[in-house]
Amino acid sequence: MTEKPEDPSVSLFREYIKVESVQPNPDYDGCVRFLSAQAEIMDLPYQVVECVAGKPIFVMTWVGTEPDLPSVLLNSHTDVVPVFPEHWTHPPFSAFKDKQGNIYGRGTQDMKCVGIQHMEAIRRLKNAGKRLKRTIHLSYVPDEEIGGHDGMQKFVHTQDFKKLNIGFGLDEGIAVPGDTIPVFYGERNVFWIRIMCPGSPGHGSRFLENNAAIKAQYMINKLLEYRAKEKARLESDPNLTLGDVTTVNLNIMSGGVQTNVVPDKFELTFDIRITPTTNIAEFEKMIRDWMAEAGEGLELTFIQKFVDQTLTPTNPDDPWFSALSAGINKHNLKTKNEIFPAGTDSRYLREVGIPAIGFSPMPNTPTLLHDHDEFLNENIFLKGIDVFTDIIQNLGNV
């Protein structure tokens, strides 16, 4: 019995997985070598931009027949999150494929799959002799997994980016176990805050006034009560997803010197993700009001604060969204428009006024991004190329 030879797109995907572009020291040179080799094979011009040395942004371009029209950006990130190899069934950078066609590796879902699907869709259109009206840019950006600060966040403010003249962008979505693929048109606002609660130090045997712990207790209670309210809201309405509510997590508590000393301060660090229909200014004021109620001298530091709340239009008469939908519908895929619960590079595009949608066609796949044994089945991967081919053709002809 002879086995069917592997589809070249799958082989290319597996080759990309083997490039160890893993945080905190991603092999970005390896990515650029891999990507530039493909651009040359496809005969597409490319450029490498570094907003920060050693953090390459790779852009390859398929010029349209009307290159003055705003272009389409197909974005993916090259880096992947760290691994705990001892928890993996197959080595995480081996791109091992089992008998069912499941390809194991860090980045198979998040998001080297999409990077290759974009490329293969363009290759297919080009080989079929198609020309699109609009120019298509494929960008492969660094550091998304650590916030994109030296990647997309800086890139969108450069002349190199402005020259691309982007009218619409596609970026990442997420794998889902069911058959309804989420289409992400917005993201929650990240507030990473540290609240310093000062107090008068003294002997641990007394009831000291102006007590750091009492102030910390007040803040913890207020913020975790808010958390409980939002959790109840999510659980009471089956139509809501995580992106529709605000999450609050107290993730670091620090302070204190020794057991019998009342300390001069406690610090509380919260990870808050605010659903974009919230009034951000009022939300911040609410926290500051609680701080004032807690007592004297509390200080708020933002470790991260993202306040842009732009949502990409999803109405049927929006030309970009209807082109995207028509491509998806051709394949009879079920979708649901959602707010992305965490952060992606799409937010930086939306922030500079570019409509962007997060879409990774991976139905019937366990959600394993950032998890052990991340895998993607080759048939789902290949089907995704079919879907992107139609989507990109439609977007390029808007």
Nearer to Zn ion, 345 or 390 (CB): 345
> Which listed residue (19, 32, 60, 111) binds Zn ion by CB under 5 A?
111
Verify whether residue 79 is a known catalytic residue.
yes
Phi and psi at 397, nearest 5°, equal -110, 10
Asked if residue 5 has a cis previous peptide bond (ω within 30° of 0), the answer is no
Nearer to Zn ion, 172 or 374 (CB): 172
Binding mask 137-176 for Zn ion (x = CB under 5 A): -----------------------------------x----
The owner of tokens 């992107």 is 388
From 110, 120, 143, 144, active-site residue: 144
d(CA 172, CA 177): 17
Kindly give, in sequence order, each residue whose CB lies less than 8 Å from that of residue 71, ignoring residues fewer than 6 positions away: 64, 134, 135, 136, 137, 164, 165, 166, 167
Nearer to Zn ion, 83 or 111 (CB): 111
Looking at 105-113, 290-298, 301-309, 333-341, which segment touches Zn ion (CB under 5 A)? 105-113
- Does 338 sit near Zn ion (CB under 5 A)? no
Verify whether residue 144 is a known catalytic residue.
yes
Nearer to Zn ion, 110 or 378 (CB): 110
Contact 118, 138 (CB under 8 A): yes
Shortest distance (Å) from residue 79 CB to Zn ion: 9
Shortest distance (Å) from residue 127 CB to Zn ion: 28
Report how many residues bind Zn ion under the rule CB under 5 A. Answer: 3
Please count the other Cβ atoms lying within 10 Å of the Cβ belonging to residue 379.
14
Q: How far is CA 368 from CA 141, 184, 302, 361, 397, in A?
A: 21, 18, 30, 14, 34
> Which listed residue (21, 71, 110, 148) binds Zn ion by CB under 5 A?
110
Q: Helix axis angle, 8-17 relative to 378-396, nearest 10°?
A: 100
Nearer to Zn ion, 283 or 340 (CB): 340
Looking at the chain, how many residues does it have? 398
Shortest distance (Å) from residue 172 CB to Zn ion: 5
Shortest distance (Å) from residue 29 CB to Zn ion: 21
Shortest distance (Å) from residue 4 CB to Zn ion: 31
What is the number of the residue whose Cβ is closest to Zn ion? 110
3-state secondary structure labels for all residues of 98-113: CCCCEEECCCCCCCHH
Binding site residues, Zn ion, CB under 5 A: 110-111, 172
> What amino acid positions are annotated as catalytic residues?
79, 144
